[in-house]
Amino acid sequence: MRVKDLDFNIYLTQEKIQQELVRLAAAINQDFADKEPIFVAVLNGAFIFMADLARHVTIPSEITFVKIKSYEQLQSTGEHREFIGLEVPIRDRHVIIVEDIVDSGNTIKFLLEKFEEQYPHSISIVTLLFKPDALRHPLDLPYVGFRIPNDFVVGYGLDYDGFGRNLPDIYKIAD
Ligand code: IMP
Ligand code: MG
């Protein structure tokens, strides 16, 4: 599979991803049964994951989106900009941040700090993908779909320089 100037190989099929979503949603349904959580998905990357996950969430809950930019092409810049969105007050709420991937952890760390300022009851993180070898901050990640090596991936919402988000499966950069 070619995305812009790079070659990618199939890595996680949509079937495998859907199976994992069912498992993640079941855990969330159980853990947040009486908590009316608010899902806060991080745009753009998490838009497909959030949409698919939502279809397996059976408990009363809200869904909203925030947008930040911290990743340019293949490299995490590490610099943090403001996020936009989050019109819903999160004070005393159980917040579940929904990410496509946790790489360095910069994005999640930034969001955790920002959200904490609004005194939510709790903040949890659900991420489809996690690159443990790239992580630069200690993070508690109770809901991880797939732990993957430190290789660049595209598809299922994840992009390479803006492209590839539409691919139904996840592809890994070719060696
Ligand atoms: P972090 O802040 O370094 O944890 O990076 C998180 C963000 O970078 C994710 O939300 C993605 O948008 C992007 N990202 C990290 N790794 C990849 C990758 O392998 N492919 C595409 N986007 C990635
Ligand atoms: Mg992202």
Task: Set out the domains of the chain in order of their start, with CATH numbers.
Answer: 14-153 (3.40.50.2020)
Q: Whose CA is nearest to atom 12 of ligand 1?
A: 45
> Which of 1, 44, 65, 76 gets mutated to test ligand 1 (max ligand atoms within 8 A of its CB)?
76
What local confidence, expressed as pLDDT, does residue 68 receive?
87
100: three-class secondary structure by DSSP: strand
Q: What is the pLDDT of residues 18-63, one digit of tens each?
A: 999 999 999 999 999 999 999 999 999 999 999 999 999 999 999 9
Q: What is the pLDDT of residues 57-92, one digit of tens each?
A: 999 999 999 998 655 544 555 564 688 888 889 999
What local confidence, expressed as pLDDT, does residue 84 receive?
86
Alpha carbon of 59 to ligand 1 centroid (Å): 29
> What number of helices (H) and strands (E) belong to the chain?
3, 12
Residues 6+ apart with CB under 8 A from 129: 100, 101, 102, 144, 145, 146, 148, 153, 158, 170
What local confidence, expressed as pLDDT, does residue 77 receive?
54
Alpha carbon of 10 to ligand 1 centroid (Å): 18
Helix (H) or strand (E) holding 50: helix 47-54
Alpha carbon of 92 to ligand 2 centroid (Å): 26
34 is catalytic: no
**Model pTM score:** 0.93
What local confidence, expressed as pLDDT, does residue 85 receive?
87
Given a cut of 60, whether residue 12 has pLDDT beyond it is yes
Residue 1 CB neighbour total at 10 angstroms: 15
What local confidence, expressed as pLDDT, does residue 74 receive?
45
Catalytic residue among 52, 100, 103, 159: 103
Q: What is the pLDDT of residues 103-160, one digit of tens each?
A: 999 999 999 999 999 999 999 999 999 999 999 999 999 999 999 999 999 999 999 9
